[in-house]
């Protein structure tokens, strides 16, 4: 049996966790100096309340012991191999932590560094899960995850520029733009446009996806943090302007929220 493992920064839905039997290692999220485990004792409502009151927030990767515990649980439940899929090394240390834990695991572990973060990681897990569900082996599933990672695009606007700048992912010059439209590229937030208001932001996000996809049929994830109306508008625009095979919605959880802030909206996409 092959078990999939990821970390909570992937924002993998409970439905997908259950469908493919994925074990999720929680990220640590710090609020006003107090450490919490994402999805265990800090959820979306909790981080939203913290951001609304202006709390000092941050995140850190799981320890090797926490990741190893997931591998040991997989083995206890009958797994003979583990495929562990995580955020990129340029963004988070979790992939390197997973490699260290893999060296101590009692079953073989293949670690995938997706080069991305948040829901793009979930899409890689999803792709691997589909292959395993169809009877594929660990090599085929790993290849599916890597192909998905390489073919993926993303675009978004952040709600709190100060968090993005403070976290080192957005240069101050980009933050000086009116409302920067951003893409996560090699661990950094890269400006791909600028707009003057939220209506312009939605149009710019849709236009970027349409331009990048060049008529290819897409699988899309639309996410937001306290910006449901904008996310609705983005979903509608994407369905109208792009060739959409499947579109799913997701909430940006605590380990993403601490880097972007309330009001963030965006999407990730890849060829179906």
Report pLDDT for 129.
Answer: 97
Distance CA 176, CA 164 (A): 12
Per-domain boundaries in the chain: 2-27+62-150, 152-271
User: Looking at the domain covering 2-27+62-150, what would its CATH class be?
Assistant: alpha beta
**What are the residue ranges in the chain where pLDDT is below 50?**
161-176
Confidence (pLDDT) at 175: 45
Residue 121 to residue 140: CA distance in whole angstroms? 17
Burial code (b: 16+ CB inside 10 Å, e: under 16) for 143-174 equals: bbbbebbeebbbbbbbbbbebbbebebbeeeb
Q: What is the pTM of this model?
A: 0.84
CATH number 3.30.1180.10 given to 152-271:
yes
189 bridge partner residues: 184
Q: Which pLDDT score, from 0 to 100, does residue 174 have?
A: 45
Q: Which alpha helices (DSSP H) does the chain contain, by range?
A: 14-20, 44-52, 64-76, 94-102, 119-133, 138-151, 161-166, 172-175, 198-213, 228-241, 254-260
pLDDT number for residue 171 = 45
What pLDDT, on a 0 to 100 scale, did the predictor assign at position 190?
78
At residue 172, the pLDDT reads 45
Q: How high is the pLDDT of residue 167?
A: 43
Res 89: pLDDT: 63
Same fold yes or no, 2-27+62-150 and 152-271: no
Q: Are strands 81-86 and 57-60 parallel, antiparallel or unpaired?
A: unpaired
pLDDT at residue 206 in the model? 92
């Amino acid at each position: 049996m092959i078990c999939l493992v990821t970390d909570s920064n992937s924002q993998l839905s409970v439905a997908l966790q259950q469908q493919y039997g994925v074990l999720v290692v929680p990220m640590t999220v710090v609020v006003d100096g107090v450490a919490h485990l994402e999805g265990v004792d800090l959820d979306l409502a909790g981080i939203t309340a913290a951001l609304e009151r202006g709390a000092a927030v941050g995140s850190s990767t799981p320890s090797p012991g926490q990741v190893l515990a997931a591998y040991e649980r997989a083995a206890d439940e009958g797994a003979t191999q583990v495929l562990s899929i995580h955020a990129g090394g340029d963004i988070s240390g979790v992939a390197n932590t997973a490699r260290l834990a893999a060296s101590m695991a009692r079953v073989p572990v293949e670690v995938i560094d997706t080069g991305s973060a948040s829901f793009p990681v979930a899409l890689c897990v999803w792709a691997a899960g589909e292959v395993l569900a169809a009877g594929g082996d660990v090599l085929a599933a790993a290849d599916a995850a890597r192909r998905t990672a390489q073919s993926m695009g993303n675009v978004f606007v952040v709600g709190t520029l100060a968090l993005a700048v403070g976290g080192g992912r957005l240069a101050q010059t980009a933050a000086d733009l009116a409302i920067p439209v951003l893409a996560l590229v090699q661990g950094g937030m890269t400006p791909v446009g600028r707009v003057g208001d939220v209506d312009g932001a939605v149009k710019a996000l849709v236009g970027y996806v349409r331009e990048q996809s060049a008529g290819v049929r897409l699988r899309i994830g639309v996410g937001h943090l306290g910006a449901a109306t904008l996310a609705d508008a983005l979903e509608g625009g994407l369905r109208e302007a792009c060739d959409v095979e499947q579109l799913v919605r997701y909430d940006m959880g605590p380990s993403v929220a601490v880097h972007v802030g309330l009001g963030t909206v965006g999407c990730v996409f890849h060829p179906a």
